[in-house]
A and B are shown apart, each in its own frame.
Chain A
Amino acid sequence: MKQQIALFIRSVINSYSVLFFSQNRVLGIILLLVSFFNPVAGLAGLACVVLSLLIARLLKFSDDNLQMGIYSFNSLLLGIAFGSFYQVNRLFVIWLVFACIMVVVAAIIFSQRLGKIGLPMLSLPFILVFWLVLLATHSIFNTGLQQKNSYLLEEIYNGSGNIAGIEEALATHLPKLVGLFFRSLSAVLFQHNIIAGMLIAIGLLIHSRISFCLLVIGFMVACGFNYFTNTYPEGISYYHLGVNVMMTTVAIGSFFTIPSMRSYLLGILCIPVVFILINAFAGFMSVHLLPIFSLPFCVINISLLYFLMLRKNPGKLQLATVQHYSPERNLYQFLNHQDRLNDLKYLKLNLPFMGFWTVSQGYNGAVTHKGEWGRALDFVIRDDEHNTYQYPGTLPEHFYCYNKPVLACGDGLVEQVVNHVEDNAIGHINLKENWGNTVVIRHATGLYSKVSHLKKSSIKVKAGDIVKQGDLLGLCGNSGRSPEPHLHFQLQTTPYIGSKTMAYPLAYYFSRHDNKNSLESYEIPAEGTLLSNPEINQSVKKAFNLEPGYTAQLISENGRVENWEVFKDALGQLYLYSKNTGAVAYFINNGTLFYFTSYYGDKRSLLYYFYLAAYKVIFSDAESIVANDQLPLQLTGRKPLLWLQDLVAPFYRFIHINYQSNCQLQKNSLIIEAKQYQEIAGKKTQIIEATVNVDQDSLQAFSITINGENIKARWGTENT
């Protein structure tokens, strides 16, 4: 029950903060307080929020949307508008309740329909319903609602000119522009109060430096543009400046897009368009005596967002696909994922052989990999003296790679097989049957792999067979254009033998240099690389094999108990869920390594510590195999510096958080040692040291030292 109330309060606060695309509690509370500057409006707003939340809850609509205040922020606007527009009487309450219900219905319909194509509804439900209310009161029938007579309404109706109203003492002292800025901010809550605007500005700054920065930019540019074009000779209405211009700059520049130079520019370029929309709509709607509210904001955001979504190649202006309700977090997570989520970008292809082979000819090699057939790899086996054969090397059998198994690089369907071409004598080539004995496999639409020059009659598969990664295809031979035994491997977009090649990375492989292996991921090996498929430590692999349904009980040294379970979300992504703290950590396990992709929730949860300790683990016990990675910047402990970083983050990052781990064999078990370094402008300091113990093919315990504090936890009971 207590938890339920806390959740409910949280959704009430979120209904406020979501007005500024945030889930920040501080901002929400500030907005809640500020709304009470006009007590009637504040009360009406709060009442509408509570009412709509109750309705949506009762009817069991999506918990997530409820929690984030998606269904209730339009009601909030309605309540505040009602309180600002009408005088309180008996009928006021009745109409408010019904209008609120209408908004809830509209909000749910809009969010569903628009959500399907990935668009936000913004304040459309509020605008629509309030228009209906206004039209109803303007009609010849008596609704009993009495419109207030205030400067504010004048302002909203007339849409330009005089900044009138209560001039605070501040207004006289502050430069005109600064006063206007704060006033404009307060307009979002239908106010025109400098103090309100100041409070909101503080809240916004706490929520996001990037958003705040864009607000200022939007404000300045709009004023400058107006000065230049003289569209509004007496200055832009602070209402439109705040609600339409500045909010559009923030939304386009940082919320719907990943903040960057381009998104900032786009946000600025929207301003003249907003001017056009304001003027057009105002003229059109004034016929019906309807204020346009934030309609220009809604129209430009929804249409521009839809337009951006339709692009085939997003290029450098990326949309925020996963919304964290914080431009900083969106940006840092995006940058972090850009480098890390290759698993979602590429099909996982392995090398088509066993053991260590050498790339004898790489992409665009000097011998035969030319032009459209340039993106191919040739492999041979070399000994320590770099010979490919044993003395005397006059027969194919003398070559190390001859007769060695050739494997399927990935799951797929065998498209073509040639198995009849004679193997050449050493030094001879067969240009007539250029590719020799060949297998083409279809892995996906438009992704085929081909292995060539195999041994005659060695191919074990036939066209139409389904093969799994690592299945035996045939044996390495010397057929076709091959003067000495080698294996030709290429990826192509069409299923033909002789198709032109395409560049495509290999998922994971060990490259050996000076007798030390290192793990390469999603790379294209260069000529001369000595490489093999990764050698996997089965024990670590099994320990991190966390499938849905895996449950574990963690007991920390100070007796805290947490229950974890693995779930799969609607998009097929796995996550660990801590039942006690509600924290969630998403991860990927691709059979070669385990890594967390994101963490949401309480930073005192044991799950958070495990997230930091096992951020990335390679399933290899070789000491030379070290996992290197970067954590998203919002996890840094240096908050003041981070604020500074936030301001310039879309353009330049000077803070980096590096992560490093490797496995160490113990007497009977295995530990994963991890370290986290913070790098500020090139200066490196270690901030976290952690170990994870693996024994008997399962996770046993972990320990982490963070800011001098040591936390230890062990796995209690578990089942998989």
Chain B
Amino acid sequence: MEKLTYEKPYIKKLHAGVMNKFGTRTGIQPVKQIDGVSVKKLIEGYGSPVFVLSEKQIRKNYRSAYRAFSTRYPKVQFAWSYKTNYLNAVCQIFHQEGSWAEVVSGSEYQKALGNGVPGNKIIFNGPGKSKEELKIAVDNNSLIHIDHFEELNQLLTLSKELVNKPRVAIRVNMDTGVYPSWDRFGFNYENNEAWTALEKIVTSGKLQLVGLHCHIGTYMLSTAAYGIAANTLCDLAMRCNTLLNHKIEYLDMGGGFPSTNTLKGAYLPGADTVPTVDDFAEIITSTLLNFGFAQEDLPLLILESGRVLIDDAGYLLGTVIANKRLNNGKRATIMDFGVNILFTSFWYEHQISPAQDFNPHNENMIIYGPLCMNIDVIRESINLPLLNTGDHVVVHKVGAYNMTQWMQFITLRPAVVLIDEQQRTHLIRTNETLHYTEEPEVMPAHLRPSK
């Protein structure tokens, strides 16, 4: 008989809850491998913590989302939202699949160019574009989505000195019946600001109005809102056609489709509550198809989805540093990854799985990160089996926003590993070194340490 592993004795508070036919089991399964690569080997090879991305899953997500739209609408284009995850390797996967680039800053713009995206396939969004950045975008024939009148005026002035006629769209905000209404970006539809901007662009004759853009929110749980948004853009496009005699080439519906992560405060898990990409595709495409465009005049439909395409392809592997019992008797486990690298733990109740076999007993516990800061809480309450120091865990669905919003704070940022479709691992970002973080620093002479 195999020798059983030693289990530390513990005392557990008895909860007299509702009877449950499954007993005390939680259904937690150990996750020992990702895409066929063992978690243990990954940590041995690349250190702990480490971010792992699955190329297979990314491609699968892209293809199924693209299929959802392209089998419902004749002209569909995806643009990869750089801010969601702009590791070049990740961007290249999306570009290989056919995505354009959607960027919101000059540096992201340069990144897209560096990734070999042709200028006319870069969408330049955001409220903060500088004059120089606009100039470069115009030179490259990029699609500039105007956010406010200052930008519009600046483009009109710029267009006098540039060879290319800027190709522009305006971002439109509107009431889609969803709170909070994002009215801080773009021009408002209801108070006619958007129409004023469109008239100004077309009558100026200096800008080439090619599209209309909206982005009604993020992690949207209502498909109806997209129906309203699509209808609004169609209405503006049709008015442009009839009143300004100007044909709109594309409608950019933005992104904002939710991943299956569970939002904090949600009663049911995300996987059970969020609409699928198919649901969004159905309402958007049917609105467009039924609006009354002539078949050959149907505008190109652009989508800038980020989160839904990558969130579940990302994993964070970590190691237990220590266990504690808090004063109130609650168990606490300290991990070697903190909120500085797992930014989304502020929004989501991330699913965490042990990476090795465990005993069937589990306990509600709090998961802390390694930072010497009170805010460093990964999960405030989670039922997990008892973990020992040195055990590995896998945090799920961390592909979106973490690898862009992470901070170098107290600890250094870890490596990122990509598992390709042939189950080979590739280091796509090395872990940070002290030298890297100190490199930009300049020491005034009088503060230099004396030898």
B-binding residues in A (CB < 8 A): 353-357, 381, 383-384, 400-401, 403-405, 468, 470-472, 532-533, 665-668
What is the number of residues of chain B that contact chain A, defined by CB distance less than 8 Å? 18
The B30-70 residues at the A interface (CB cut-off 8 A) are 59-60, 63-64, 67, 70
How far apart are the CA atoms of A471 and B74 in the complex, in Å? 11
Nearest chain A CB to B93 CB, angstrom units? 12
Nearest chain A CB to B156 CB, angstrom units? 21
Going nearest first, the 6 A-B pairs with the smallest beta carbon separation are A355-B71, A355-B70, A668-B141, A404-B71, A470-B295, A354-B74
Q: List 17 additional A-B contacts (Cβ < 8 Å) besides A355-B71, A403-B282, A532-B70.
A: A354-B73, A354-B74, A355-B67, A356-B70, A356-B71, A381-B67, A381-B71, A383-B64, A383-B67, A384-B63, A400-B71, A404-B72, A405-B72, A471-B295, A665-B118, A667-B119, A668-B141
B362 is an interface residue with CB less than 8 A from chain A: no
Residue pairs across A and B with Cβ atoms less than 8 A apart, 29 shown, are A353-B71, A354-B70, A354-B71, A354-B73, A355-B72, A356-B67, A356-B70, A356-B71, A357-B71, A381-B67, A383-B64, A384-B59, A384-B63, A400-B71, A401-B71, A403-B282, A404-B72, A405-B72, A405-B289, A468-B295, A470-B74, A471-B295, A666-B118, A667-B118, A667-B119, A668-B118, A668-B119, A668-B140, A668-B141
B353 is an interface residue with CB less than 8 A from chain A: no
Chain A hits for B59, CB < 8 A:
384
B120 is an interface residue with CB less than 8 A from chain A: yes
Assess the B295–A354 pair: CB atoms within 8 A: no
Of B63, B71, B73, B140, the most chain A CB neighbours within 10 A belong to B71
How far apart are the CA atoms of A306 and B370 in the complex, in Å? 97
Chain A hits for B295, CB < 8 A:
468, 470-471
Q: A383-B64, A470-B295 are in contact. Are A667 and B72 (CB under 8 A)?
A: no
A-binding residues in B (CB < 8 A): 59-60, 63-64, 67, 70-74, 118-120, 140-141, 282, 289, 295
Q: A384-B60, A665-B118, A667-B119 are in contact. Are A400 and B67 (CB under 8 A)?
A: yes
Nearest chain B CB to A404 CB, angstrom units? 5
How far apart are the CA atoms of A295 and B48 in the complex, in Å? 101
Nearest chain A CB to B167 CB, angstrom units? 11
Q: Is the interface of B mostly helix, strand, loop or mixed?
A: helix
Chain A hits for B289, CB < 8 A:
405, 472
How far apart are the CA atoms of A384 and B66 in the complex, in Å? 12
Chain A hits for B120, CB < 8 A:
668
Chain A hits for B119, CB < 8 A:
667-668
Chain B hits for A401, CB < 8 A:
71
Nearest chain B CB to A468 CB, angstrom units? 6
Chain A hits for B73, CB < 8 A:
354
Chain B hits for A666, CB < 8 A:
118
How far apart are the CA atoms of A405 and B286 in the complex, in Å? 9
Chain A hits for B64, CB < 8 A:
383
Assess the A383–B63 pair: CB atoms within 8 A: yes
How far apart are the CA atoms of A471 and B67 in the complex, in Å? 20
How far apart are the CA atoms of A400 and B282 in the complex, in Å? 12
How far apart are the CA atoms of A544 and B282 in the complex, in Å? 34
Nearest chain B CB to A477 CB, angstrom units? 14
How far apart are the CA atoms of A356 and B70 in the complex, in Å? 8
How far apart are the CA atoms of A384 and B141 in the complex, in Å? 35
Chain A hits for B140, CB < 8 A:
667-668
Chain A hits for B67, CB < 8 A:
355-356, 381, 383, 400
Chain A hits for B70, CB < 8 A:
354-356, 532
Q: Smallest CB-CB separation from A460: which chain B residue?
A: B290
How far apart are the CA atoms of A497 and B71 in the complex, in Å? 26
Chain B hits for A384, CB < 8 A:
59-60, 63
Chain A hits for B72, CB < 8 A:
354-355, 404-405
How far apart are the CA atoms of A357 and B71 in the complex, in Å? 8
Chain A hits for B118, CB < 8 A:
665-668
How far apart are the CA atoms of A580 and B140 in the complex, in Å? 37
How far apart are the CA atoms of A470 and B298 in the complex, in Å? 11
Q: Smallest CB-CB separation from B285: which chain A residue?
A: A405
Of A354, A357, A472, the most chain B CB neighbours within 10 A belong to A354
Chain B hits for A468, CB < 8 A:
295
How far apart are the CA atoms of A471 and B290 in the complex, in Å? 11
Nearest chain B CB to A408 CB, angstrom units? 10
Q: Smallest CB-CB separation from A467: which chain B residue?
A: B295
Nearest chain A CB to B188 CB, angstrom units? 31
Nearest chain A CB to B211 CB, angstrom units? 14
How far apart are the CA atoms of A78 and B137 in the complex, in Å? 77
Nearest chain A CB to B16 CB, angstrom units? 37
Chain B hits for A355, CB < 8 A:
67, 70-72
How far apart are the CA atoms of A472 and B141 in the complex, in Å? 34
Q: Smallest CB-CB separation from A470: which chain B residue?
A: B295
Chain B hits for A383, CB < 8 A:
60, 63-64, 67
How far apart are the CA atoms of A668 and B140 in the complex, in Å? 6
Chain B hits for A667, CB < 8 A:
118-119, 140
Q: Smallest CB-CB separation from B66: which chain A residue?
A: A355
Q: Smallest CB-CB separation from A408: which chain B residue?
A: B295
Q: Smallest CB-CB separation from B286: which chain A residue?
A: A405
Of A355, A356, A470, A532, the most chain B CB neighbours within 10 A belong to A355
Chain A hits for B74, CB < 8 A:
354, 470, 533
Nearest chain A CB to B196 CB, angstrom units? 28
How far apart are the CA atoms of A403 and B119 in the complex, in Å? 37
How far apart are the CA atoms of A404 and B70 in the complex, in Å? 10
Q: Smallest CB-CB separation from A397: which chain B residue?
A: B278
How far apart are the CA atoms of A357 and B282 in the complex, in Å? 17
Of A405, A472, A532, the most chain B CB neighbours within 10 A belong to A405
Q: Smallest CB-CB separation from B59: which chain A residue?
A: A384
How far apart are the CA atoms of A353 and B60 in the complex, in Å? 22
